[in-house]
Structure 1
């Protein structure tokens, strides 16, 4: 087999890893109370073994979807549902 077989699965998928993380977190957020904290960048890094930039992109994707809001210096929290 070529080098491709040696790469982790996440690198062979056409979807960016931050989108997959955001999707999984979105499922968790759907069950969480409004204004409850979500995983921090650090938590995401540890849980998925990704770089801080990837964790930031995942949280930004959730913010773009309107699922979370971020308070500088405090973290990100579940947005009120519309």
Structure 2
């Protein structure tokens, strides 16, 4: 449950907690490569955060190399190259 993931009173900034939660969903295969992640508005609703916090979370995911934003289309999980190919 989302409330188990986000600690609104904890020492870790909310945007980091949300980015970590989305990253965990990517790593678990819940959010698939080349598919969109939840929008800013969806993150606001899902985690009970401000829109600026959602935006900063997505920015952090981009900095981590996990997602790419396509202007006017959304933010998508980056396709990881297969480590089996060589």
User: Would the TM-score normalized by the shorter structure come out above 0.5?
Assistant: yes
TM-score (norm 2): 0.79
Instruction: Give the match for residue 8 of structure 2.
Output: 10
More helix by share: 1
Structure 1 segments, 4+ long, off by >2 Å, are: none
Q: Cα RMSD between the aligned structures?
A: 1.2
Instruction: Give the match for residue 55 of structure 1.
Output: 54
Q: CA deviation at 1:58?
A: 0.6
Q: How many pairs were matched up?
A: 73
Of the two, which has the highest radius of gyration? 1
Gaps of 5+ in 1: 1-8
TM-score (norm 1): 0.82
Gaps of 5+ in 2: 1-6, 82-86
